[in-house]
A and B are shown apart, each in its own frame.
Chain A
Amino acid sequence: MAIGSGQSVLIVDDSPVMRQMLFKLFQSQGFNVVGQACDGEEALVLFEELKPELTTLDIVMPKLRGTEVLEKLLEKYPGSKIIMASSVSDARTVMHCLKVGAKQYIIKPYDEDKVMSAVRKALELG
């Protein structure tokens, strides 16, 4: 049973492999991946342009860190459904992101179940 129903998704990660992995996963689960950004600055531009319903956001990236991207996005678009997907497991970063308003925080390595469970919660819990 597909989890998505055509919701638009923006994937932000500096690793092409990670992007590809998430892309395939989202596509296979009935989401519509509308954009992929490979650094923080591009993430801001693409978000502005695409207004995705769901965004996955990496943290350690060139140009602008995911945490800063998160703050900037939520300041302008509060309530946006953003899931942090990073291998940063530093307590303060995790807590900071959740407090700022990230819906979920998944740590690499994540499997499909973990990603989709986070996605489901992000969508359901609003």
Chain B
Amino acid sequence: MSVTDENLAELFEQYKDEVRETIETLDNELVNLEQDPSSSETIFSLFRHMHSLKGSSKMFNVDNIATIAHRLEDLMSMIDKNNSILGKHPKVVDLLFKGNDIFRDIISRLEDDISYTSMTGDHLAFVAEIQAQVDKINRRDSQLVDAAMKLVEDLENLIPGMEEAEAEALKKDMADVTTGLALATLEEDGANQIRFNYNGADLTESVRSMEDLLPKFKEGKAGPEDAVAFVDAANALYSLLAEVATEDAMGLIAELGDGLQLFSERELDMDQMMVEFFAAMLADLKQKFQVEVEAPAVKSSRSSKSSSALKEPQVKTIRVDEAKIDLFLESVGRLITKSEILNHLQFSFRKAGVDIGLLRDFSTVSRTISNDIVNLQRSIMEVRQVEMNNILKKFPRLVRDISHKIGKEAEMVIVGERVPIDKSLLDDVEQAMVHIVRNAVDHGLEMPEDRLAAGKPRRGTVSITVTQEEAAIFIEVADDGRGLDLEKIKLKAVERGNISPEQQMTMSDHEAEMLVFSSGLSTKDQATDLSGRGVGMDVVMTNLKKWNGEVVIDNRPGHGMTVGMRLPITNTLLTKEAIMLRVGASTFCLPLECVNEIVTVPRADVHHHKDGAVFRHRDMVISVIDLKTLLGLPEQAMNQAAAVPSEAGSLGGVQGQNGGTLVFIILRGKTDTRQSILADEILGQQKIVIKEFELETFRKLPFFNGLTLLGDGRVVLILDSDKLIES
């Protein structure tokens, strides 16, 4: 085989990606279908995606998806032929949604077990469910058949009183109808006790031999001799028909002849396609054998649809394994560290008194390398960018499911699918958005009756708008529901101990709005299993803080609310400028953005209280965070560090002393800038590459949010100013 295993594995990955994308598209189109069941564009798009899902799944032998997609495609084609089916059988859309969930499940299981490709009991049950639905739709047809039979009988009674010519015409029409009806019921019952005649020629034998062989081909059990027998029978049928052909069936018979001719001429194989071709020809011809009415019109509706079919923007892309990009980024990260070594060397050279000309050359090279690396990093970060659509396409389905579950009606409006976002932000942003959107539907939107009573349209609207700002992405989730009841929220917050009764009285509206994001708060009288018990919205805050994002709320009581999230783009870069500081024997770094000011204060001006030290700076009382105490840095380490000449000693050790000064870094928190860290020494400022903790144990470290490697190979922890301030 020329397609190697490695190639196959790669293709299989692509296949899974493609299925995932198809599932999302199907979800969205299904939501569209529910909103506008008559849209033939939507129906065609659904059909097309289901069709290609079937095709590629067959290709990769993912039987379960292929089989289910095939059945659903059949179901889709019933809708396609008769739009009114959706109105009469609302369950059809549920089935399609369910199918999508099953596809999603299969794809996720395939991640761990690539042999998860055959039909399980659940899958078979689902196929049976689809079949039951198909039968149900068909039964309506058979009801129609019954009604038509009755009509024919009634008409028959009218014939005696008619003019002869009229009666003849009516008789002929009725004969056509009864034969057609008889055939319809026959096929439905699977009965096959019928002889096939056409213009006096008895075709029964050749028809039978073909029909008997069909199942063999379909099950793939037919051998070459079966193929010969089948083609012989088809040829015999054609010769019989060709002799007695009348005008009305001429086209069809000619088609069969052409088929046979092309079959031998092009040396086609008697494969599934050819068998299906002959089977279909036979089915069409059989109608002619009985009823000499015009052939069922060739399905032409589809071709006209295709021209208006989805105008999806097609962007040429290559697929690159995410891990490969991360690896690349990591290498770039290491390069940055290396260029810091060059910087380091430059200082050492200068200290060592290296020739000034050489030093200048060296520094030029070092600077160029550093610039190149920054550019390299920027371009690879751009590669990591994906479109917001990756997240957004999930939401129509989410809104649909939630609103259905609780009996609300909601419409989803999305703007800004193409805005790029860094892949590393994706999960956190999505999680945050899910909570906000859930809350909007569950808590925000009113029940349809309440909405009508309030003079609003029955169906609520939840909209997501993503806009690209100069240095940030702004994501807005708006609903036209009831908005926030601030008094109720404050009351709840007091009840739960999130705020004190005094705070309740003095709190601004803005502060009250922000309470939504505190944990354990839900104003809904009864917690639902959807938005839960207020758990969740605090996740929004946590996730956004992680990326230095901010949240704004626009509350319009009675008219809805808008939650806006702003995520700075620069923050998505993994490098930051940071202050390096020494505390005792340990070196830490603190991102520059967390530093408000570095101040030197005479020891005498630092005052000690029971709960810590404070000093006055520009009319503000700044409290001191003593890292040595807070982190429990060992005394020994401090003693060792005492060898360092500039050692300033711990805060505890300065009590009673009067001389010297202390260095404090005043932190820049979200709201608070009255906290500072006592540093023994500021070592300098440099570019650091932030690495997140990979081990869960490290993530739980209370005051750090990552680590970085220094030019000399040392590992340094990055201080988390927000957590320090909270402490």
Instruction: Tell me the A residues contacting B by CB distance below 8 Å.
Output: 14-18, 20-21, 24-25, 28-29, 38-39, 42, 60-65, 67-68, 87, 89-92, 94-95, 98-99, 103-110, 112, 114, 117, 121, 125
Contact present for B2 and A95 (CB under 8 Å)? no
In the complex, what residue of chain B is closest to A68 when comparing beta carbons? B303
Contacts of B269 in A (CB 8 A): 114, 117
Q: A87-B51, A91-B280, A112-B3 are in contact. Are A21 and B59 (CB under 8 A)?
A: yes
Contact present for B55 and A87 (CB under 8 Å)? yes
Q: A24-B3, A25-B3, A64-B306 are in contact. Are A39 and B281 (CB under 8 A)?
A: no
Contact present for A67 and B303 (CB under 8 Å)? yes
Q: How far is the CA of A65 from the CA of B306 in the complex (A)?
A: 6
Contacts of A28 in B (CB 8 A): 2-3
Contacts of A64 in B (CB 8 A): 306-307
Q: How far is the CA of A114 from the CA of B274 in the complex (A)?
A: 13
Contacts of A87 in B (CB 8 A): 51-52, 54-55, 58
Q: B268 touches which one: A14, A29, A104 (CB < 8 A)?
A: A104
Contact present for A39 and B314 (CB under 8 Å)? yes
* Closest beta carbon of chain A to B272's beta carbon, Å: 6
Q: Is the C-beta of B259 less than 8 angstroms from some C-beta in chain A?
A: yes
Contact present for B3 and A15 (CB under 8 Å)? no
Q: A20-B11, A62-B312, A112-B2 are in contact. Are A94 and B277 (CB under 8 A)?
A: yes
Known: A15-B18, A60-B51, A89-B277. 7 other contacts (CB 8 A): A25-B3, A38-B314, A63-B309, A64-B307, A91-B259, A99-B258, A108-B56
Contact present for B18 and A62 (CB under 8 Å)? no
Contacts of B51 in A (CB 8 A): 60, 87
Contact present for A103 and B266 (CB under 8 Å)? yes
Contacts of B697 in A (CB 8 A): none
Contact present for A98 and B266 (CB under 8 Å)? yes
Contacts of B1 in A (CB 8 A): 112
Q: Is the C-beta of B276 less than 8 angstroms from some C-beta in chain A?
A: yes
Q: How far is the CA of A68 from the CA of B306 in the complex (A)?
A: 10
CB-CB nearest 8 A-B residue pairs: A91-B280, A28-B2, A109-B58, A87-B55, A107-B273, A108-B55, A91-B277, A109-B59
* Closest beta carbon of chain A to B76's beta carbon, Å: 12
Contact present for A95 and B258 (CB under 8 Å)? yes
In the complex, how many residue pairs between chain A and chain B have their CB atoms under 8 Å apart?
Answer: 124
Chain B residues touching A, range? 35 or more
Contacts of B279 in A (CB 8 A): 91
Contact present for A21 and B3 (CB under 8 Å)? yes
Contact present for B271 and A18 (CB under 8 Å)? no
Instruction: Enumerate B443-487 residues with CB–CB distance to A below 8 Å.
Output: none
Q: Is the C-beta of B267 less than 8 angstroms from some C-beta in chain A?
A: yes
Q: Is the C-beta of B610 less than 8 angstroms from some C-beta in chain A?
A: no
**Interface pairs (11), CB distance under 8 Å:** A16-B18, A21-B59, A62-B306, A62-B309, A87-B51, A92-B298, A95-B258, A107-B273, A112-B2, A121-B267, A125-B265
Q: How far is the CA of A103 from the CA of B267 in the complex (A)?
A: 10
Contacts of A60 in B (CB 8 A): 48, 51-52, 306
Q: How far is the CA of A14 from the CA of B2 in the complex (A)?
A: 23
Among A63, A112, A117, A125, find the residue whose CB has the most chain B CB atoms closer than 10 A: A63
Q: How far is the CA of A109 from the CA of B310 in the complex (A)?
A: 25
Q: How far is the CA of A112 from the CA of B59 in the complex (A)?
A: 11
Contacts of B59 in A (CB 8 A): 17-18, 21, 108-110
Contact present for A89 and B273 (CB under 8 Å)? yes
* Closest beta carbon of chain B to A50's beta carbon, Å: 16
* Closest beta carbon of chain A to B59's beta carbon, Å: 4
Q: How far is the CA of A17 from the CA of B262 in the complex (A)?
A: 31
Instruction: Enumerate B1-27 residues with CB–CB distance to A below 8 Å.
Output: 1-3, 7, 11, 14-15, 18
Q: B52 touches which one: A14, A107, A109 (CB < 8 A)?
A: A14
Contact present for A24 and B7 (CB under 8 Å)? yes
Q: Is the C-beta of B311 less than 8 angstroms from some C-beta in chain A?
A: yes
Contact present for A17 and B56 (CB under 8 Å)? yes
Q: A20-B14, A121-B266 are in contact. Are A94 and B3 (CB under 8 A)?
A: no
Instruction: Enumerate B296-349 residues with CB–CB distance to A below 8 Å.
Output: 298-299, 303, 306-307, 309-312, 314, 319
Contacts of A104 in B (CB 8 A): 266, 268
* Closest beta carbon of chain B to A94's beta carbon, Å: 5
Q: A105 touches which one: B18, B48, B273, B284 (CB < 8 A)?
A: B273
Contact present for A29 and B2 (CB under 8 Å)? yes
* Closest beta carbon of chain B to A17's beta carbon, Å: 5
* Closest beta carbon of chain A to B709's beta carbon, Å: 39
Contacts of A62 in B (CB 8 A): 48, 306, 309-312, 314
Contacts of A15 in B (CB 8 A): 18, 52, 55-56
Contacts of A20 in B (CB 8 A): 11, 14
Contacts of B273 in A (CB 8 A): 89, 94, 105-107
Contacts of A39 in B (CB 8 A): 314
